[in-house]
């Protein structure tokens, strides 16, 4: 939100609890308290907007259907109220094994964590992407690797595949990548892999 506001955009933030929002007051920021899983509740927040960013993610120990339920609600709301808007959805790179991964990552590391520690989360990412890909909207999916609270630094991108060796990305750089993708119509209908 801060990156979008600093770039001069008007932002509508849909949140469960406005008191937890850390972005300071700004005349271009409208905060809407709504259930992110209810298309009717978020419909007014997407109406008339140029773009919608869905960056929902589960908290540790929370249910593992947050991403797919949120994507289904956003897609339903946009389809009903603003089908011309850009849709950008953040998932992750861990559930996808492709030629962007090195052999160790592709055949050992990702299967190990995907079949054990992060099995439910990876399955939710896959369901989320299926919903977005079949939406008929002008979508872009960003697939970051493990997110950190580090400082911004140069990162790499890859279209429709993972970034080789890209195992981490700061949240600050994810915010930058979101803004870049929103401004680049060539990303519509594509997945953008991210990483250092």
For the question of whether the overall pTM of this predicted structure is more than 0.75, the answer is yes
**Over its length of 196 residues, how does the chain's per-residue pLDDT go in tens digits?**
999 999 999 999 999 899 888 888 899 999 999 999 999 999 999 999 999 999 998 776 666 899 999 999 999 999 999 999 999 999 999 888 888 887 777 777 777 777 777 888 889 999 999 999 999 999 999 999 999 999 999 999 999 999 998 989 999 999 999 999 999 999 999 999 999 9
Contact 130, 121 (CB under 8 A): no
H/E stretch holding 11: strand 11-15
Which distant-in-sequence residues (6+ apart) come within 8 Å of 175 by Cβ? Answer: 2, 3
Sign of CA dihedral 11, 46, 146, 66: positive
Domain spans in the chain, listed from the N-terminal domain onward? 49-195
CATH 3.40.50.720 fits 49-195, yes or no: yes
Confirm if 51 and 88 have CB atoms less than 8 A apart: yes
């Amino acid at each position: 939100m801060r990156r979008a506001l600093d770039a001069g955009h008007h932002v509508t933030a849909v949140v469960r609890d406005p008191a937890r929002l850390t972005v300071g007051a700004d005349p271009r920021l409208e905060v809407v308290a709504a259930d992110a899983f209810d298309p009717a509740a978020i419909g007014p927040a997407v109406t008339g907007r140029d773009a919608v960013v869905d960056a929902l993610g589960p908290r540790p120990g929370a249910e593992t259907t947050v991403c797919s339920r949120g994507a289904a609600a956003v897609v339903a709301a946009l389809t009903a109220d603003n089908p011309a808007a850009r849709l950008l959805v953040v998932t992750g790179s861990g559930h996808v094994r492709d030629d962007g991964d090195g052999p160790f990552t592709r055949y050992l590391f990702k299967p190990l964590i995907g079949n054990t520690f992060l099995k439910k989360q990876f399955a939710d990412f896959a369901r989320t992407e299926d919903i977005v890909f079949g939406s008929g909207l002008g979508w872009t999916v960003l697939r970051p690797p493990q997110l950190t609270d580090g400082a911004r630094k140069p990162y790499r991108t890859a279209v429709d595949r993972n970034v080789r060796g890209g195992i981490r990305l700061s949240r600050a750089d994810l915010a930058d990548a979101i803004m870049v993708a929103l401004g680049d119509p060539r990303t519509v209908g594509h997945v953008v892999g991210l990483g250092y």
